[in-house]
Chain A
Amino acid sequence: MSMSFDSRIRAKSNRAKDEGSVARIMKATEILLQERGHEALTTTAIANAAGLNIATLYKYFPNKYSILVAILKQSRDVWLKAAERSVTSVLAGSDWRATMEQIIDFAARRRRDQPGGNALRRAVQALPELQSYYREESLETAAFLADFLTARGGLDPTRAMQVARVAVDIGNSVLDLALFNPSEDPAVWIAEAKAAVCQYLTPHLEA
């Protein structure tokens, strides 16, 4: 409000510059991750690849984990919106099984297309700092499914959350099998994740 025209201009261009640096850091991290894996990932390597000074990198991110979490968060909003849409569409009358299968396809595509791809997923598996972020996201996903189990299956909220967490865990862990069995067709794990999740949920939804 009290800023002069001049300083507003400066503030704006600084923000634009900040965004540009953050985007460059994240892009460089994604590329390094894909090319060399998370084991070789260091802030120095990232700063080099982004063409930035290491001190500049630390202005935005305290360590490599915070960069990886920022990358994971990029696709989180889209994912949670998709989860919410699925719930809405089933409540509006769509077949729950078909909708569940769609959301599992969506989850599989998200892993495949995510910047850093499987390398990022592997980093999540291997780094405790990312595991806790990922568990948080799983809980958020489960909350949508729990609402649905309450609305459609008549489960009480506590029970609905238990079942939802187990279902989300089944989906995630079966899709992760693609990481450990790179020689096999990933479609196998997607199909089995659908079967396992739907069969687990059936008694609650088709009583």
Chain B
Amino acid sequence: MSLSFENRMRAKPNRAKGEETAARILEATGMLLETQGYDALNTNRIAQAAGINIATLYKYYPNKQSILIAMTKRNRGDWLEAAGQSVASVGAGADWRTTLEAFMDFAAKRRNNQPGGKAMRLAMRISPELQPFDREETEVTASFLSKLLVERGGLERTYADQVARVAVEIGTSILDLSLFDQSPGDEVILAEAKAAICRYLEPHLSPNRPPLAAASGPPSQP
């Protein structure tokens, strides 16, 4: 408001430059994760790969964890949008199973097709500093599914929340099998993750479909 014309001019290119530097840092981090893995990641290497001074890097991020958190948050928007769209399209009449499978494809792509996607996921999984962000994302994702379970499956809210958390946990954890030694391979894992989630949700979303629906129900009917 009180900025002179001149000041506004200077502030604008600086902000643009700042955003560009931040984006370069994230890009370099993705590239390093992809080529060298999480263990080899440090701020010095990131600054070098981004072609900037380490002091400049610290102006934007205090440590490597904060860079990883920024990377997670950057694509969280797309992720939540996809989750929201999936719920909306099932609400509008799309087959829940097909929709869920498409969403799982999206989840797998996010890990497998993004530079550093897998290493990033491994970091989220094993680093105590990043685990809370992972939990948070799991819970937000589950809240979308819970909505579907209430609206479409008629589940009572508390139980829907629990079932949703279980389903998201199953999907995440099966997809994570590809991060570790002796992995059965990405395609097998994706197919099994879909199968596991759909079979688990089937009694809640297609209760009349025999024969798989004949499984143990909720622990205690409220």
- A contact set with B: CB distance below 8 Å: 101, 125-126, 128, 131, 135, 139, 161-163, 165-166, 169-170, 172-174, 176-177, 180-181, 184, 187-196, 198-200, 202-203, 206
A70 to B188, CA, bound (A): 34
State whether A170 touches B173 (Cβ < 8 A). Answer: yes
A163 to B196, CA, bound (A): 10
Which partner residue on chain A sits nearest B211 by CB separation?
A: A206
Residues of B in contact (CB 8 Å), total 36
State whether A196 touches B170 (Cβ < 8 A). Answer: yes
Distance to closest chain B CB from A200 (angstroms): 5
State whether A200 touches B219 (Cβ < 8 A). Answer: no
A176 to B176, CA, bound (A): 15
Distance to closest chain A CB from B71 (angstroms): 20
B203 at the A/B interface (Cβ < 8 Å)? yes
Q: Which residues of A contact B131 (CB under 8 A)?
A: 125-126
Contact of A128 among B126, B174, B181, B212 (CB under 8 A): B126
Question: How many pairs, one residue from A and one from B, have CB atoms within 8 Å of each other in the complex?
Answer: 87
Distance to closest chain B CB from A178 (angstroms): 11
B200 at the A/B interface (Cβ < 8 Å)? yes
Which partner residue on chain A sits nearest B204 by CB separation?
A: A195
Q: Fill in one digit per residue for B38-50: 1 if any A CB lies within 8 Å of its CB, else 0.
A: 0000000000000
Known A-B contacts A166-B177, A170-B170; A191 and B216 likewise in contact (beta carbons under 8 Å)? yes
Nearest 4 CB-CB pairings of A with B: A191-B219, A173-B173, A199-B199, A162-B184
Q: Which residues of A contact B177 (CB under 8 A)?
A: 165-166, 169
